[in-house]
Chain A
Amino acid sequence: DQQVKQNSPSLSVQEGRISILNCDYTNSMFDYFLWYKKYPAEGPTFLISISSIKDKNEDGRFTVFLNKSAKHLSLHIVPSQPGDSAVYFCAASPFNQAGTALIFGKGTTLSVSS
């Protein structure tokens, strides 16, 4: 059973518009969440993270929102650019559990057209 779910395999957005990527999780012990971006033939690149004590974290064009009661987080990219076209992975980490790595979703492929 998947603990981190990205239910939309793909998303298409026009350049300049907002991209919203969604992620749901099931484990209430998760306390830290991350977004990664992956281009073909490269490893994932860390984008932005958020701790469970916050509900929003912003870094330039990227903002992550966390809704703990709904066990939902989202990544907003504004404005979207063609270079943002990639696969985006949501990941989660359980609270203070030594020896545990991140748990990843299956990814959402974002296509930004000019």
Chain B
Amino acid sequence: ETGVTQTPRHLVMGMTNKKSLKCEQHLGHNAMYWYKQSAKKPLELMFVYSLEERVENNSVPSRFSPECPNSSHLFLHLHTLQPEDSALYLCASSQRTGREQYFGPGTRLTVT
């Protein structure tokens, strides 16, 4: 595997379910990110981890819970989501924050 991988690629979940999105980077980077992309909106930053420490939480509802167990892995735990949370969730990594980020293919999430 190379670059940034995300699983699953597609996810349909009910509002009472609990699920997790997984991201793995094979680039030796020190920073990882979660973004949300909704239709006709800019990419919205959700969380930033630098050296496994959360350095930014962009006013994201608590039903989204990130976890970074090491510098290569990032999770986004989801529970009691709303239909408006349906979007493309993108993971990215970079050597350091504020510079070139490399994105995974995204998880297309649909909340029913």
Contacts and interface: CB of A to CB of B under 8 A. Distances in A.
Interface residues of B, number: 26
Nearest to B106: A43
B8 to A, nearest CB: 13
B37 to A, nearest CB: 9
A100 B56 contact: yes
Nearest to B41: A106
A89 B43 CA distance: 9
Interface string A60-104: 000000000000000000000000000001000110111111111
Nearest to B48: A101
A101 B97 contact: yes
B47 to A, nearest CB: 9
Interface of B: 4, 6, 33, 40-43, 45, 48, 50, 55-56, 90-92, 97-106, 108
10 contacts: A2-B42, A4-B42, A43-B92, A43-B106, A93-B99, A99-B56, A100-B98, A102-B101, A105-B42, A107-B42
